[in-house]
Amino acid sequence: MKTFNDQSSHGSIAPARPKSLPSLKAGVGLKPEHYRAILDQHPAVGFFEIHAENYMGDGGPPHRYLTAIREMYPISIHGVGLSIGSSGPLSEAHLLRLKVLIERYEPAMFSEHLAWSTHPSGYLNDLLPIPYTKEALRRVVEHIDTAQAFLGRRLLLENPSTYVQFAESSYSEPDFINEIVRRTGCGLLLDVNNIYVSANNHGFDPYAYVDQINHLAVGEIHLAGHTRELDTDGSPLLIDTHDRYVDDAVWSLYAHAIRSIGGVSTMIEWDANIPDLPVLLAESDLANAVSLAATG
């Protein structure tokens, strides 16, 4: 089994840059709408997380603001486009873009999804589900090995939110993910909202999922809001929309996860209908409070 250092071995670390994440101080997603407010107000928040692909342009305000914000805060980089779950090869060009970004901003954490998005017709702009089969497992493991070796650091793999299952799946999702962790040495980004959404949509127990997952591998937790729609039979179909407050039931599941795992860097995702910064910060404060209460 390979092991990887948490910190990038590349580049120098500027002395002023906050390097590691405070373990119990929650972070929030970095949104262009909040750039100015963050620089003006310097709010008390643990870290900011960026979507890697939004900072892959050559220059411009995204890099200018991120550079300024990086001088004051730790950041984490969350990729959405590597397509680790693709049956085809990883894009070397995209791996290189990630490497450049990681070397430039020295994130405390780097994460990607257990999902796919590349297709012969082009890039499918969504996080698509994979069947949990031996063949898929081998491919995902190859891809994570490749990515970790190329990037020279450990990757945190995020569990997906899904709306369908595949008839050919032969693993449960936690078993599949635990096996990936065992074979690659990668860490986990446990998205508690995703667990809740998928549990509702597929009829499994989200608490049992949290209990079953490899706790030692969890390096980060995501929380987000979801939308309640209806399936054809009238039962709730939850959609992972990141467009509202974290649901009460997800907070409860989060408390359970923290009680089981211990304090973990936690981050609030809010990617659509983006609120003013104080609303987002209040959610991260709530994460701190719930985490503190759960760890006693």
Per CB under 8 A, residues contacting other proteins are 53-54, 56-64, 80-83, 86-88, 94, 116-117, 119-126, 128, 130-131, 133, 135-136, 139, 163-168, 201-203, 231-232, 237, 239
Nearer to other proteins, 9 or 121 (CB): 121
Smallest gap, in angstroms, from Cβ of residue 90 to other proteins?
12
Nearest-approach distance from CB 167 to other proteins, in angstroms: 4
- As measured in angstroms, the least distance from the Cβ of 120 to other proteins is 7
How many Å apart are CA 76 and CA 74, to the nearest integer?
7
CA gap 84, 91 in Å, rounded = 10
Q: Which is nearer to other proteins, 95 or 267 (CB)?
A: 95
Closer to other proteins by CB, 74 or 174: give it. Answer: 174
Nearer Cβ to other proteins (150/163): 163
Taking the complex as a whole, the smallest distance from the CB of residue 200 to other proteins amounts, in Å, to 10
d(CA 42, CA 146): 38
Least distance in Å: CB of 243 to other proteins?
Answer: 12
Q: Give φ, ψ of 268 to 5 degrees.
A: -95, 125
Helix (H) or strand (E) holding 32: none
- Closer residue to other proteins, CB minimum distance, 43 or 62: 62
Task: Give helix 134-151 / helix 173-184 axis angle, nearest 10°.
Answer: 40
In the complex, what is the shortest distance from the CB of residue 277 to other proteins, in angstroms, rounded to a whole number? 20
Q: Which is nearer to other proteins, 45 or 52 (CB)?
A: 52
- How far, CA to CA in Å, does 244 sit from each of 89, 124, 218, 279? 35, 24, 25, 10
Instruction: List Cα–Cα distances, 278 to 28, 213, 220, in angstroms.
Output: 11, 33, 22
Cα separation, 267 vs 170, in Å, equals 32
For 149, the token pair is 């070796």
**Could you identify the residue written with the tokens 């939850």?**
238
